[in-house]
Amino acid sequence: MSQGKIDYRMTDSLPLILQLAHFLQQKGIKGGYHLEDMARTKGWLDVMVRFELGRDVKIDIPAYVESYDLSSIHGYERELIGLIHSHISRSEKPVLLLDCGADIGLLSALLVSSCNCIDRVIAFEPNARSFRRLESNLKLLPVDAEAKNVAVANFCGKGELKYPEHDSDDHAAFIVPSDQGDIPVIKIDELDLPADHRILCKIDVEGGELAVIEGALKTLSSSDEFAVVFEAHREQVKRAGIDPLEVVSYLNDIKTCKVVVAEEPDATIDFDRPFFEQFTSRIYNICVFSE
């Protein structure tokens, strides 16, 4: 959902031509996707749409980049958000959301909208094109929120974004250490975080999940309760050589944890087998809740 330097006109509704394109797509009528592509090419979608998500949460999304409507936003990561809500809503402490790889802040906004126990957000996004919109969107949240234009890992220094061979999209980029890099890299443990919050850490860093958690060891160890949610992507696992269950084992060494795959919550996980031998689709969200 990254964006360039287009000057978007603000609106609170989708352009009519995009509404028509969505209608045709939903009805299976030929021409809907062509109409959307044409509208995008001609600049008719160069608008910023402000969506109201509930609980006084708003988010601005450029129609040119992502042709969301409100129903598709509420359907975004529905299983994951429901699972997180069911676990953290019982917390007696306020929740601090650490959004690592936040893009423009959609998941942060949906979580704040769904979980009234979240009263603070710190979002990290190294990609400058996404960060500009992330920073603006966090200002729309009804809670204390801060955006940081940095990458998160197990070291402090500099890095650069690399792209895997299979995907040149910004969403597939991952951070590597580099003395000549132009991206600041931090550890979560270096932040001055409050001790009176439960930690909810969402990680979407394309294969660098274990490094993020290693850099948050002190923070997670000192928290009475934590929830860590991270993305498991088959191609990124191949590239990084770290099985998602290694990440789970590391967390389980910090505190005894319950593990749930958001997309298959009733599935039993065999920790003696590679994750993607058991779960055959490409991308999953793994939720680890301390007990």
For residue 268, the domain's CATH number is 3.40.50.150
Q: Which of 71, 87, 111 is the last residue of a domain?
A: 71
Residues 89 and 225 in one domain: yes
| 89 is a domain residue | yes
Which residues of the chain fall short of a pLDDT of 70?
A: 1-7, 164-172
Residues 153 and 65 in one domain: no
Task: Give me the domain span that covers residue 153.
Answer: 76-290
| 163 is a domain residue | yes
Residues 88 and 146 in one domain: yes
| 3 is a domain residue | no
| 2 is a domain residue | no
Residues 146 and 269 in one domain: yes
Mean pLDDT of the chain: 91
Answer for the pair 154, 216: CB distance below 8 angstroms, yes or no.
no
Specify which residues 199 forms β-bridges with.
96, 226
Structure confidence at residue 238 (pLDDT): 87
Tens-place pLDDT, residues 101-140: 999 999 999 999 999 999 999 999 999 889 999 999 999 9
Give pTM, 2 decimals.
Answer: 0.90
Report the C-alpha gap between 86 and 90 in whole angstroms: 7
Report the C-alpha gap between 96 and 117 in whole angstroms: 9
Q: Which of 55, 71, 87 is the last residue of a domain?
A: 71
Both structure tokens of 272: 């003696």
Both structure tokens of 84: 């997180």
| 223 is a domain residue | yes
Answer for the pair 289, 87: CB distance below 8 angstroms, yes or no.
yes
- DSSP result, 133-177: HHHHHHTTSSSEEEEE-SEESSS-EEEEEE--TT--SGGG-EEEE
Residues 191 and 214 in one domain: yes
Residues 147 and 179 in one domain: yes
